[in-house]
Structure 1
């Protein structure tokens, strides 16, 4: 049995944009699409989920659809489904979020706690419709970004587009250099930045040989570099590491920055 792609439905405009994105994604990967509405006393739940299903069916008629309405907290319901989901897809803001919020509370909570990749459908429709032909992945190292890199390669393959692998670094004060790469200061793990990127990509490149990869090694803050790269991307992928001794994932400053400000959809991929 193929595990489904799950999309959260709440009747908001952002939620319907998430349905559109999820339907196209399910078609690309040939997986079922499951629509979930957490009603919590919503009298119009049947209408909300019905309209979303009709929209998804029109967008991707070949995709197998299922739906459910649950009477519980939306974030908890989505996290529970995420334990056996291909990915979770959410809008950037929901009906109940305050004006001026850049990211909805449910989307942030799910991205922080889910066991599977979480895609927050951000950005203007004009950006998503532009089809830039590239997926961007932020690369820390193989220990923190391995799962994100695999996800990004798979996305680039099914989209038949270029993968931009970006590693941002900052030289520590008084950093040393190596004879083999005298212009590159060593990072904390004693490798020049280009080698960190090569080492992290090596396994996935062997599996996805048809994906064209563009490497970018940038000195400076990762947040700024990723947001700049996302301005010409169809999808931005970042990793998230588990907190030792605590449930859920650690969403650091970089994750928060891209989830709040990226001009394109953002995938947060837990490192397992």
Structure 2
């Protein structure tokens, strides 16, 4: 494996099954008989960002010979109970499921065009998006979601939902946002790996190098200057596991987040840790959790 050091100052016929796993009253139905760790779960909501996530997930499933599980979550609707209006009581209103079924049918057709040989399954669920989507990824190896568009109000809420999905999921979560026009950053066409959290460093490095090796790409490892001793041991092990992967080390003495964003322009994939401790309730996003909202590349985030 060729290692380069750089330092920077601050700055077939698919088989698809539509299984409605929740009725309007949120009762669970039978789950798809999928083996653990061999599928990719992708959440779709009928919007542009959801379709981008589906496109990327379908291509990824095809490239790695994995099943693709498509999930749509319909949230509960809450309305004022007319019979108890004076008391201000609210009740859950049954949700028409037609739109959810249509979203999944459209998703299956779209996935088939991209990856005709991938084995497809679908789930329609009702309830909290974060809980139901992360629940659906229990037997998968990766969860894929789209990045909300940059708009005020609803987009801000959706970004919060994306952050909660990252924190709650026990799987790597890839947040997909694709650039409309080609970008040409320092690591264009490479996999950018950010060593921003010591506790998950080995996992982040392993997943990043594995993704690069499967694509025949080089990697750029961005790391703080003071973590170089720890990194050297991990990189030496990675060299033995993937000797053909070209590796570039980039030591950063300033803002790691700014460097990750800069290096990720035009990259094939960015891989980093959320650096959020599950034991601590933190309402705001960590610096690394903001990266998916700042870049236009698929970004895989690993939680502690």
TM-score by length of 1: 0.81
1:38 maps to 73
1:172 maps to none
**1:210 corresponds to 2:265:** no
Q: Give the distance between the partners of 1:245 and 1:37, measured in 2 at CA.
A: 29
Shift of 1:236: 0.8
**1:72 corresponds to 2:127:** yes
Task: Decide which moves more: 15-24 or 96-105.
Answer: 96-105
CA deviation string 1:243-265 (max 9, x = no partner):
26458x99863323302211211
The equivalent position to 2:193 in structure 1, one of 116, 137, 150, is 137
CA deviation string 1:208-250 (max 9, x = no partner):
2221111111221101110110113111110135626458x99
Query: Is the Cα–Cα contact under 8 Å of residues 166 and 216 in structure 1 kept in the other structure?
Result: yes
SS in 1 for 2:98: coil
**1:29 corresponds to 2:29:** no
2:30 maps to none
Q: Give the distance between the partners of 1:102 and 1:228, measured in 2 at CA.
A: 26
Q: Give the distance between the partners of 1:102 and 1:156, measured in 2 at CA.
A: 33
Unaligned ranges ≥5, structure 2: 1-34, 76-94
Shift of 1:83: 2.7
Q: Which has the higher contact order (CA 8 A, sep 6+)?
A: 2
2:8 maps to none
Query: Is the Cα–Cα contact under 8 Å of residues 137 and 163 in structure 1 kept in the other structure?
Result: yes
Whichever of the two has the greater Rg, that structure is: 2
**1:152 corresponds to 2:187:** no
Query: Is the Cα–Cα contact under 8 Å of residues 31 and 64 in structure 1 kept in the other structure?
Result: yes
Shift of 1:121: 0.4
Query: Is the Cα–Cα contact under 8 Å of residues 134 and 162 in structure 1 kept in the other structure?
Result: yes
1:190 maps to none
Task: Say if 1:29 and 1:140 are closer, same or farther in 2 by CA, change over 3 A.
Answer: same
1:1-272 matches, within 5 Å, as 1=35, 3-40=38-75, 41=95, 42-93=97-148, 98=153, 101=156, 104-127=159-182, 132-140=188-196, 142-169=198-225, 187=226, 193-241=227-275, 243=277, 245=279, 253-271=286-304
RMSD: 2.9
TM-score by length of 2: 0.73
Q: Give the distance between the partners of 1:266 and 1:13, measured in 2 at CA.
A: 17
Q: Give the distance between the partners of 1:229 and 1:60, measured in 2 at CA.
A: 30
Q: Give the distance between the partners of 2:135 and 2:155, measured in 1 at CA.
A: 29
Query: Is the Cα–Cα contact under 8 Å of residues 93 and 102 in structure 1 kept in the other structure?
Result: no
Q: How many residues align?
A: 247
Shift of 1:63: 1.1
SS in 2 for 1:35: strand
Unaligned ranges ≥5, structure 1: 170-186, 188-192
